[in-house]
Amino acid sequence: MVWSEVRAALRDPQRIGEHLGAAGIVFDPFDQACAELAGDLWRAYRRAGGRREHLVPDFLIGAHAKLRADRLLARDRGFFQRRFAGLTVVDPSSS
């Protein structure tokens, strides 16, 4: 999902691998563990009264970062820090 968002923002989307590769970012697909964690956390969120302002893709992104990366670049730091304990979340506007 993130790869798609970045690709949509590029002038030359065919060069996405070059752009992200220069930053040390490579394509890494979701796996079953990420999907299961995302589903479990989204279900808990909704059962606790969570509104639909955060949907399954938000939880997939957070789960993938939690299990497969060492940090997440996101504007909504509070949401990801609350829902994914121990995940380092970096706000792009604070750098």
Does the structure show a pLDDT above 90 at 95?
no
What is the phi/psi pair of residue 51, to 5°?
-80, 170
Instruction: Please state, in angstroms and rounded to a whole number, the distance separating the CA atoms of residues 63 and 4.
Output: 17
**Is 87:65 a contact under the CB 8 Å cutoff?**
yes
Does the structure show a pLDDT above 60 at 8?
yes
What band does 3 get if pLDDT is binned at 50, 70 and 90?
Answer: confident
Per-residue pLDDT at 64: 95
Rg (the chain; Cα; Å) = 14
Q: For 31-89, what is each residue's pLDDT tens digit?
A: 999 999 999 999 999 999 998 889 999 999 999 999 999 889 888 889 999 999 999 99
What's the one-letter identity of residue 56?
V
Q: What is this structure's pTM? A: 0.79
**Is 59:35 a contact under the CB 8 Å cutoff?**
no
Per-residue pLDDT at 35: 96
Both structure tokens of 66: 């939690």
Instruction: Please state, in angstroms and rounded to a whole number, the distance separating the CA atoms of residues 19 and 92.
Output: 17
Provide mean pLDDT across the span 1-16: 86
